[in-house]
């Protein structure tokens, strides 16, 4: 199978459904990373007028309950406290810049970095607008924490985040999580949240083989 094809995960750090999909995605990458590359970009869920306090999104509690029921994942008590307090502002552009700053230092571990970012928010209740959140992840991952903070302060990471958003729009992605196989000029959507590993594996094999 061709290494030219790759799996592209289009997600948002403030997407609870992406958080729920995290364990399944890691399992999928572990099963297939030897035959196809995995990449991640941010789609931009809470940008522009949607950058609002978390309390403005009254559907979140109900959605979280559904996510836990479907995936078995649990939202951490620190995150629950953030949700209860209600004033925290979700800004996907800041989160996307943080991912870009980490990913640029090791492209092959993008999925892992995204997972750590979501754990920081949904597990530990940390702000994804704070550079220190990404500096901590960088240090724990053997990356350069100072470089990470410099990329965020200089605007370099923000430019990479905007490129992510543009790519997501060009691919027609408007919901998250979205999992795609890009094989030269061909784009195939894969099943995501709630899909058994064997189904995802089968669809990946079909997508890669269709244009070889």
Does 96 fall in a domain?
yes
Residue 32, token pair as written in the block: 């297939």
Per-residue burial over 105-126, b = 16 or more CB atoms within 10 Å of its CB, e = otherwise: beeebbbbbbbbbbbbbbbebb
Model confidence over 33-92: pLDDT tens digits?
999 999 999 999 999 999 999 999 999 999 999 999 999 999 999 999 999 999 999 999
Range of the domain at 49: 6-209
- Inside any domain, residue 52: yes
- Distance, CA of 166 to CA of 24 (rounded, Å): 26
pLDDT greater than 80 at residue 211 = no
The answer to the question of residue 13 being in a domain is yes
Average pLDDT, the chain: 95
Q: Average pLDDT of 101-118?
A: 97
Closest CA to 87 of 125, 49, 117, 118: 125
pLDDT band at residue 2 under the 50/70/90 scheme: very low
Tokens standing for 5?
């094809």
| pLDDT of residue 5 exceeding 50 | yes
Residues in Cβ contact with 58 at an 8 Å cutoff, skipping those fewer than 6 apart:
none
**pLDDT value of position 176:** 97
Q: CA nearest 73: which of 13, 10, 19?
A: 19
- φ, ψ at 197 (rounded to 5°): -55, -40
* Collapsed DSSP state (helix, strand, coil) of residue 102: helix
The answer as to whether 90 is a domain residue is yes
> Is there a domain that residue 30 lies in?
yes
Q: What pLDDT score was predicted for residue 169?
A: 97
Residue 1 lies in a domain: no
Contacts of 192 (CB under 8 A, 6+ apart): 21, 24, 25, 177, 178, 179
Distance between CA atoms of 96 and 7, rounded to whole angstroms? 19
The predicted pLDDT at position 1 comes to 42
Least confident of 123-137, 153-167, 174-188: 174-188
Position 159 in a domain: yes
Q: Is residue 20 part of a domain?
A: yes
Cβ neighbors of 73 (< 8 A, separation 6 or more) are 19, 20, 22, 23, 67
Q: Quick one: pLDDT band at residue 4, thresholds 50, 70, 90? A: confident
Total domains in the fold of the chain: 1
Beta bridge partners of 8: 39, 180
- Mean pLDDT across the stretch 146-167? 98
Task: Quickly state the pLDDT bin for 185 (edges 50, 70, 90).
Answer: confident
Rounded to whole angstroms, the Cα distance separating 104 from 190 reads 25
Q: Is the pLDDT of residue 12 over 70?
A: yes
What is the CATH classification number for the domain harbouring 163? 3.40.30.10
């Amino acid at each position: 199978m061709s290494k030219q094809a790759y799996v592209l995960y289009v997600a948002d750090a403030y997407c609870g459904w992406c958080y729920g999909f995290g364990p399944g995605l890691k399992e999928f990458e572990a099963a297939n990373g030897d035959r196809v590359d995995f990449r991640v970009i941010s789609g931009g869920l809470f940008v522009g007028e949607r950058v609002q306090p978390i309390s403005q999104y009254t559907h979140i509690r109900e959605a979280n309950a559904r996510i836990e029921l479907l995936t078995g994942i649990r939202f951490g008590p620190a995150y629950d406290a953030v949700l209860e307090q209600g004033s925290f502002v979700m800004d996907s552009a800041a989160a996307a810049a943080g991912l870009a700053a980490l990913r640029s230092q090791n492209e092959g571990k993008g999925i892992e970095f995204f997972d750590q970012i979501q754990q920081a928010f949904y597990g530990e209740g940390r702000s994804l607008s704070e550079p220190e959140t990404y500096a901590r992840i960088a240090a724990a991952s053997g990356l350069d924490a100072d470089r990470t903070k410099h990329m965020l302060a200089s605007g370099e990471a923000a430019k990479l985040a905007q490129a992510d958003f543009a790519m997501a729009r060009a691919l027609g992605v408007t919901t998250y999580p979205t999992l795609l196989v890009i094989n030269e000029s061909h784009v195939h959507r894969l099943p995501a949240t709630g899909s058994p590993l064997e189904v995802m594996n089968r669809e990946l094999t079909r997508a890669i083989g269709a244009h070889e």
